[in-house]
Amino acid sequence: MATEHVDSLHQISIYCKLQPHIRSKKQLDEFYSRFDPNSGNTAESRKCERCKIDYTLRMDSNGVPEPLDKFNLCEFHTSSVSFNKFPDEYYYACCNGYTYIGRKIKPCKTHNYHVSENPAFFKNGIVSSASISGSNKVVYALDCEMCATVNGYECCQVTLLDEAGKVVYESLVKPEGFILDYETELSGITKETMENGPCKSLKEVQNDLLKFIKEDTILMGYGINDELTSLKLHHDKLINSVIFETRQRHRCISSVRELAKNIFVLESLREEMRREKKEEASCTCVSWRNFKTIFD
């Protein structure tokens, strides 16, 4: 009983200390979202999330997207660009490529499908924690694995961890659109993973998550606002662990590895967060609560 009481006080302390650093989903979306709400994408005319070119989506007689011509494949980097220690120098962790402002570097990967930047898929079926009664004043880390579908990037697995790093919920999620790329090297998800299941529909997962996530719950995550967008879940007590101010006074999205090197040292930190397993990534997020430096 005494141990449970101490743990409860510890949770309350963490919850209170994080209050000044909470942002709403709207605040995070305005500055750091990968999804553009003003995108001009239509059912056929779209912009690719990966290579940023405009393209036309063509379907065959079976309603399956037609692959690209082998001479005009989608070319892209699998990691986001990050600032290096030198002024105006940028770095791609996926291929150890360096470049400078005004100079392009050849993408390291190709694929026979483009991925839509922001289709209408994300505008319907949205649920909100504000509509659910009850209270749960705790901190959870949320992590979603994404796969590329004809609808864009959709969630294919979700993991929710508590402050002790314990998995409180995890499920495979069946995407609503035809899957173009499982992005296995980033997500760890394969075709066999999804076929063997069990998989739940997005609606089922939403209902499950709202049993844990109440209006007063704090959610932490790497690009947490985009994770929620993929889940079609609205929540306004968020801490996006991916943002920090660089020495060049630019605000950028950095990998977990870079953030740790600039602020503090975490044991067993592996490459960047999107290359880690789901649980390790979310555990890293939760473990940050013990390092006050990141919140000062």
pLDDT at 212: 96
| CB of 8 closer than 8 Å to CB of 160 | no
* pLDDT tens profile 162-194: 877 788 999 999 998 899 999 888 788 999 999
Taking the complete model, does pTM exceed 0.75, yes or no?
Answer: no
List, for residues 81-116, the tens digit of each pLDDT value: 766 656 667 778 788 777 766 677 788 899 999 998
pLDDT at 12: 65
Q: 287, 265, 267, 284: which is closest to 275 by C-alpha?
A: 284
Contact 104, 183 (CB under 8 A): no
Q: Give 2-38+121-295's CATH code, choosing from 3.40.50.280, 3.40.640.10, 3.30.420.10, 3.40.50.720.
A: 3.30.420.10
Confidence grade of residue 222 (pLDDT, cut at 50, 70, 90): confident
Are 256 and 268 spatial neighbours (Cβ–Cβ below 8 Å)? no
How far apart (Å, rounded) are the C-alpha atoms in residues 15 and 216? Answer: 10
Helices and strands (DSSP H and E) totals, the chain: 8, 18
Residue of 281, 11, 247, 290 whose CA lies nearest to 143: 281
Whether the CB-CB separation of 270 and 145 falls below 8 Å is answered with: no
Q: Where are the domains of the chain?
A: 2-38+121-295
Tokens of 241: 């662990």
